[in-house]
Chains A and B, each alone.
Chain A
Amino acid sequence: GAVVSQHPSRVICKSGTSVKIECRSLDFQATTMFWYRQFPKQSLMLMATSNEGSKATYEQGVEKDKFLINHASLTLSTLTVTSAHPEDSSFYICSARGGGQAETEAFFGQGTRLTVV
Protein backbone atom coordinates (compact mmCIF):
# COMPACT_ATOMS: atom_id res chain seq x y z
CA GLY A 1 0.00 0.00 0.00
CA ALA A 2 0.86 3.67 -0.16
CA VAL A 3 3.09 5.20 2.50
CA VAL A 4 2.44 8.24 4.64
CA SER A 5 5.26 9.53 6.78
CA GLN A 6 4.98 11.86 9.76
CA HIS A 7 7.79 13.81 11.31
CA PRO A 8 8.74 14.05 14.09
CA SER A 9 7.46 10.93 15.80
CA ARG A 10 7.95 12.50 19.21
CA VAL A 11 8.43 16.09 20.29
CA ILE A 12 8.67 17.84 23.63
CA CYS A 13 8.27 21.58 23.73
CA LYS A 14 7.96 24.31 26.30
CA SER A 15 4.64 25.92 27.07
CA GLY A 16 4.07 28.97 24.88
CA THR A 17 6.16 27.81 21.95
CA SER A 18 4.95 26.54 18.57
CA VAL A 19 5.48 23.12 17.11
CA LYS A 20 5.23 22.01 13.49
CA ILE A 21 4.36 18.47 12.47
CA GLU A 22 4.88 17.33 8.89
CA CYS A 23 2.88 14.74 6.99
CA ARG A 24 4.18 13.47 3.67
CA SER A 25 2.75 11.04 1.13
CA LEU A 26 5.81 9.25 -0.20
CA ASP A 27 4.57 7.44 -3.27
CA PHE A 28 1.27 9.01 -4.24
CA GLN A 29 -0.27 12.43 -4.59
CA ALA A 30 -2.50 13.21 -1.66
CA THR A 31 -5.29 15.48 -2.82
CA THR A 32 -6.82 15.34 0.65
CA MET A 33 -5.14 15.06 4.01
CA PHE A 34 -6.74 14.67 7.40
CA TRP A 35 -5.46 15.52 10.85
CA TYR A 36 -6.63 13.58 13.87
CA ARG A 37 -6.00 13.83 17.57
CA GLN A 38 -6.03 10.79 19.81
CA PHE A 39 -6.19 10.92 23.60
CA PRO A 40 -4.98 7.93 25.63
CA LYS A 41 -7.24 4.92 25.21
CA GLN A 42 -9.66 6.93 23.10
CA SER A 43 -10.59 7.04 19.46
CA LEU A 44 -9.29 9.29 16.73
CA MET A 45 -10.96 12.67 16.73
CA LEU A 46 -10.98 14.40 13.36
CA MET A 47 -9.59 17.91 13.67
CA ALA A 48 -9.57 19.12 10.09
CA THR A 49 -9.58 18.18 6.45
CA SER A 50 -7.25 19.88 4.01
CA ASN A 51 -7.28 19.88 0.24
CA GLU A 52 -4.17 20.85 -1.67
CA GLY A 53 -4.06 24.54 -2.41
CA SER A 54 -7.10 25.51 -0.38
CA LYS A 55 -7.92 26.36 3.20
CA ALA A 56 -8.49 23.57 5.65
CA THR A 57 -11.97 22.72 6.88
CA TYR A 58 -11.98 22.48 10.65
CA GLU A 59 -14.33 20.38 12.73
CA GLN A 60 -16.57 22.04 15.25
CA GLY A 61 -14.73 22.96 18.41
CA VAL A 62 -11.26 22.95 16.86
CA GLU A 63 -9.54 26.34 17.03
CA LYS A 64 -8.21 27.19 13.59
CA ASP A 65 -5.92 29.88 14.95
CA LYS A 66 -4.35 27.44 17.33
CA PHE A 67 -3.97 24.51 14.96
CA LEU A 68 -2.67 25.94 11.69
CA ILE A 69 -2.85 23.58 8.75
CA ASN A 70 -1.06 24.10 5.48
CA HIS A 71 -1.38 21.82 2.46
CA ALA A 72 0.82 23.58 -0.04
CA SER A 73 1.68 20.61 -2.23
CA LEU A 74 0.22 17.27 -3.20
CA THR A 75 2.70 15.44 -1.00
CA LEU A 76 3.00 17.61 2.09
CA SER A 77 0.69 18.94 4.77
CA THR A 78 1.80 20.56 8.01
CA LEU A 79 0.07 21.06 11.33
CA THR A 80 1.43 23.83 13.55
CA VAL A 81 0.33 23.93 17.15
CA THR A 82 0.75 27.57 18.13
CA SER A 83 1.40 28.79 21.66
CA ALA A 84 1.25 25.25 22.92
CA HIS A 85 -0.06 24.48 26.41
CA PRO A 86 0.09 21.28 28.45
CA GLU A 87 -3.51 20.47 27.48
CA ASP A 88 -2.38 20.27 23.85
CA SER A 89 -0.26 17.25 24.75
CA SER A 90 -1.64 14.40 22.69
CA PHE A 91 -1.02 11.97 19.87
CA TYR A 92 -1.55 13.59 16.47
CA ILE A 93 -2.12 11.44 13.41
CA CYS A 94 -2.38 12.40 9.78
CA SER A 95 -3.89 10.44 6.93
CA ALA A 96 -3.99 11.00 3.21
CA ARG A 97 -6.19 10.15 0.29
CA GLY A 98 -5.37 10.62 -3.38
CA GLY A 99 -5.99 9.19 -6.82
CA GLY A 100 -5.60 5.61 -8.00
CA GLN A 101 -5.49 2.99 -5.27
CA ALA A 102 -5.71 5.62 -2.59
CA GLU A 103 -8.81 7.20 -4.08
CA THR A 104 -11.11 5.96 -1.35
CA GLU A 105 -8.68 4.34 1.06
CA ALA A 106 -7.02 6.63 3.55
CA PHE A 107 -3.44 5.81 4.50
CA PHE A 108 -2.17 6.77 7.91
CA GLY A 109 1.04 8.17 9.26
CA GLN A 110 2.70 6.66 12.29
CA GLY A 111 1.61 9.53 14.50
CA THR A 112 3.40 12.24 16.49
CA ARG A 113 3.40 12.30 20.24
CA LEU A 114 3.47 15.88 21.46
CA THR A 115 4.32 16.65 25.05
CA VAL A 116 4.10 20.24 26.24
CA VAL A 117 5.94 20.95 29.47
Chain B
Amino acid sequence: AQRVTQPEKLLSVFKGAPVELKCNYSYSGSPELFWYVQYSRQRLQLLLRHISRESIKGFTADLNKGETSFHLKKPFAQEEDSAMYYCALSGQGAQKLVFGQGTRLTINP
Protein backbone atom coordinates (compact mmCIF):
# COMPACT_ATOMS: atom_id res chain seq x y z
CA ALA B 1 0.00 0.00 0.00
CA GLN B 2 1.10 3.53 -0.69
CA ARG B 3 1.00 6.05 2.12
CA VAL B 4 2.31 9.58 2.50
CA THR B 5 2.56 11.39 5.81
CA GLN B 6 3.09 15.08 6.34
CA PRO B 7 3.31 15.52 10.10
CA GLU B 8 2.83 19.30 10.16
CA LYS B 9 -0.56 20.73 9.20
CA LEU B 10 0.66 24.27 9.74
CA LEU B 11 4.11 25.81 9.52
CA SER B 12 4.93 29.44 10.06
CA VAL B 13 8.34 31.04 9.59
CA PHE B 14 9.71 34.52 9.12
CA LYS B 15 10.85 35.87 5.79
CA GLY B 16 14.50 35.02 5.19
CA ALA B 17 14.47 32.06 7.56
CA PRO B 18 15.08 28.49 6.38
CA VAL B 19 12.09 26.28 5.68
CA GLU B 20 11.71 22.53 5.87
CA LEU B 21 8.44 20.75 5.15
CA LYS B 22 8.53 17.14 6.20
CA CYS B 23 7.28 14.19 4.20
CA ASN B 24 7.57 10.51 4.99
CA TYR B 25 6.29 7.69 2.87
CA SER B 26 5.50 4.04 3.03
CA TYR B 27 5.93 1.89 -0.08
CA SER B 28 7.54 -1.47 -0.60
CA GLY B 29 8.98 -0.80 -4.08
CA SER B 30 10.78 2.11 -5.72
CA PRO B 31 8.58 5.17 -5.47
CA GLU B 32 8.34 8.34 -7.48
CA LEU B 33 8.00 11.29 -5.11
CA PHE B 34 6.60 14.71 -5.90
CA TRP B 35 5.89 17.99 -4.21
CA TYR B 36 2.80 19.89 -5.35
CA VAL B 37 1.90 23.43 -4.34
CA GLN B 38 -1.43 25.24 -4.25
CA TYR B 39 -1.32 29.01 -4.02
CA SER B 40 -4.37 30.90 -2.83
CA ARG B 41 -7.29 30.54 -5.25
CA GLN B 42 -5.21 28.58 -7.75
CA ARG B 43 -5.16 24.96 -8.82
CA LEU B 44 -2.67 22.40 -7.67
CA GLN B 45 0.59 22.49 -9.61
CA LEU B 46 3.77 20.48 -9.62
CA LEU B 47 6.66 22.06 -7.75
CA LEU B 48 9.29 19.40 -8.18
CA ARG B 49 9.86 15.66 -8.50
CA HIS B 50 12.69 13.59 -7.16
CA ILE B 51 13.74 12.06 -10.47
CA SER B 52 14.65 15.43 -11.98
CA ARG B 53 16.79 16.45 -9.00
CA GLU B 54 16.27 20.12 -9.76
CA SER B 55 15.69 23.23 -7.72
CA ILE B 56 12.48 25.13 -8.37
CA LYS B 57 11.87 28.58 -6.87
CA GLY B 58 14.78 27.88 -4.53
CA PHE B 59 13.21 24.67 -3.20
CA THR B 60 14.98 21.33 -3.18
CA ALA B 61 14.00 17.89 -1.97
CA ASP B 62 16.15 14.80 -1.61
CA LEU B 63 14.79 11.30 -1.53
CA ASN B 64 16.20 9.43 1.46
CA LYS B 65 15.30 5.79 1.02
CA GLY B 66 16.82 4.79 4.34
CA GLU B 67 14.59 7.17 6.24
CA THR B 68 11.75 6.91 3.67
CA SER B 69 11.61 10.69 3.56
CA PHE B 70 11.34 13.40 0.92
CA HIS B 71 11.55 16.64 2.87
CA LEU B 72 11.18 19.95 1.04
CA LYS B 73 13.71 22.64 1.88
CA LYS B 74 14.45 26.24 1.08
CA PRO B 75 17.31 28.16 2.71
CA PHE B 76 15.66 31.60 2.67
CA ALA B 77 11.86 31.82 2.71
CA GLN B 78 10.04 34.51 0.77
CA GLU B 79 6.54 35.86 1.37
CA GLU B 80 5.34 34.52 -1.97
CA ASP B 81 6.13 31.00 -0.76
CA SER B 82 3.03 31.09 1.44
CA ALA B 83 0.81 28.30 0.13
CA MET B 84 -0.44 24.79 0.72
CA TYR B 85 2.17 22.12 -0.01
CA TYR B 86 1.39 18.49 -0.72
CA CYS B 87 3.82 15.61 -0.90
CA ALA B 88 2.73 12.84 -3.27
CA LEU B 89 3.84 9.35 -4.21
CA SER B 90 3.39 7.27 -7.31
CA GLY B 91 4.25 3.61 -7.07
CA GLN B 92 6.51 1.72 -9.44
CA GLY B 93 4.61 1.01 -12.62
CA ALA B 94 1.41 2.20 -11.02
CA GLN B 95 0.04 5.45 -12.22
CA LYS B 96 -2.05 6.66 -9.34
CA LEU B 97 -0.81 9.53 -7.25
CA VAL B 98 -1.42 9.41 -3.52
CA PHE B 99 -1.21 12.60 -1.51
CA GLY B 100 -0.18 13.47 2.01
CA GLN B 101 -2.40 15.57 4.22
CA GLY B 102 -0.74 18.80 3.17
CA THR B 103 1.12 21.51 5.08
CA ARG B 104 0.00 25.12 5.06
CA LEU B 105 3.11 27.26 4.97
CA THR B 106 2.86 30.88 6.08
CA ILE B 107 5.78 33.24 5.65
CA ASN B 108 5.60 36.19 8.00
CA PRO B 109 7.10 39.54 6.96
From the candidates B45, B49, B100, name the one contacting A108 in the complex (CB within 8 A).
B45
| Interface residues as binary, A26-53 with B (CB distance below 8 Å gives 1, 0 otherwise) | 0000001010100000111010010000
**Residues in A neighbouring B13, C-beta threshold 8 A:** none
A3–chain B nearest beta-carbon distance, Å:
10
- Looking at chain A's contact residues, is the secondary structure mostly helix, strand, loop, or mixed? strand
A residues sitting closer than 8 Å to B (CB atoms) are 1, 32, 34, 36, 42-44, 46, 49, 93, 95, 97, 104-111
| Interface residues as binary, B80-101 with A (CB distance below 8 Å gives 1, 0 otherwise) | 0000001000100001111111
Is B43 touching A42 in the complex (CB atoms < 8 A)?
Answer: no
Is B43 touching A97 in the complex (CB atoms < 8 A)?
Answer: no
In angstroms, Cα B56 to Cα A84, docked, is: 41
Is A46 touching B96 in the complex (CB atoms < 8 A)?
Answer: yes
B17 at the interface (CB under 8 A from A): no
Is A49 touching B95 in the complex (CB atoms < 8 A)?
Answer: yes
B residues sitting closer than 8 Å to A (CB atoms) are 32, 36, 43-46, 49, 51, 86, 90, 95-102
**Residues in B neighbouring A109, C-beta threshold 8 A:** 43
In angstroms, Cα B43 to Cα A15, docked, is: 28
Is B97 touching A95 in the complex (CB atoms < 8 A)?
Answer: yes
A51 and chain B: residue at smallest CB distance: B95
In angstroms, Cα B9 to Cα A102, docked, is: 29
Is B97 touching A43 in the complex (CB atoms < 8 A)?
Answer: no
Is B96 touching A104 in the complex (CB atoms < 8 A)?
Answer: no
From the candidates A1, A43, A106, name the one contacting B102 in the complex (CB within 8 A).
A43
B40–chain A nearest beta-carbon distance, Å:
13
**Residues in B neighbouring A43, C-beta threshold 8 A:** 86, 99-102
